[in-house]
Amino acid sequence: MKNPCLVVIDVQEKLFPAIYEKEIFLNNLEILVKGFQLFELPILYTEQVPEKLGPTIEPIRSLLASDAPITKSSFSCASDPEFMSRTSSFQAQDGIVLAGIETHICVYQTERDLIRRGLHVEVVTNAVASRDSNNHRIAVDRIRNNGGFLTTVEMILFNIQEHAEGDRFKELVKLVK
């Protein structure tokens, strides 16, 4: 993928405190979002029933301040008409990169449904998380078996960059250090 769309799934105030290794997850997610911004690639983010689970946590919300979240009640983003409409409007995008919470529910179901629609999907394993580490591990295994590609924050960003040259490369190196 050279022009993917990033989807940040349900990183919300009432879910985040219970996430396993949440600070590592948050750090990786912030780098991922900033990397997509560096490459000027589209980013969407969702909120699962925000009236119950709260808004997206401040560190991520502040990075995405210019965009409005997609509010959903379905676990799979691909079951939400607004999500599908917005992703289909990205003509130049050659795939979807998934990050967020929880790996075994919304991330997994979104990946599964997007794969079924014939889309190229990559899940950023160190930028997805669950409350329980076993649920996370099992979901990553299922995602791999579904035909979803697994990646990491640095792997996807350096894959988009391709060459160790230029100002953007220098900014990317600063970002991941």
Q: Let me know: does 161 contact 172? Beta carbons within 8 Å.
A: yes
pLDDT value of residue 65: 80
* pLDDT tens digits along 65-89: 878 899 999 999 999 999 998 888 7
pLDDT value of residue 75: 97
Average pLDDT, whole number, for the chain?
Answer: 94
pLDDT value of residue 94: 87
Whether cis (ω within 30° of 0) applies to the bond prior to 102 is yes
Element spanning 170, H or E: helix 166-176
What mean pLDDT is predicted for residues 128-157?
A: 95
pLDDT value of residue 52: 97
pLDDT value of residue 130: 97
The Cα 129–Cα 29 span in angstroms is 10
* pLDDT tens digits along 84-95: 988 887 777 889
- What percent of the chain shows pLDDT beyond 90? 86
Q: So what's the architecture of 5-176 in CATH?
A: 3-Layer(aba) Sandwich (3.40)
Q: Let me know: does 100 contact 11? Beta carbons within 8 Å.
A: yes
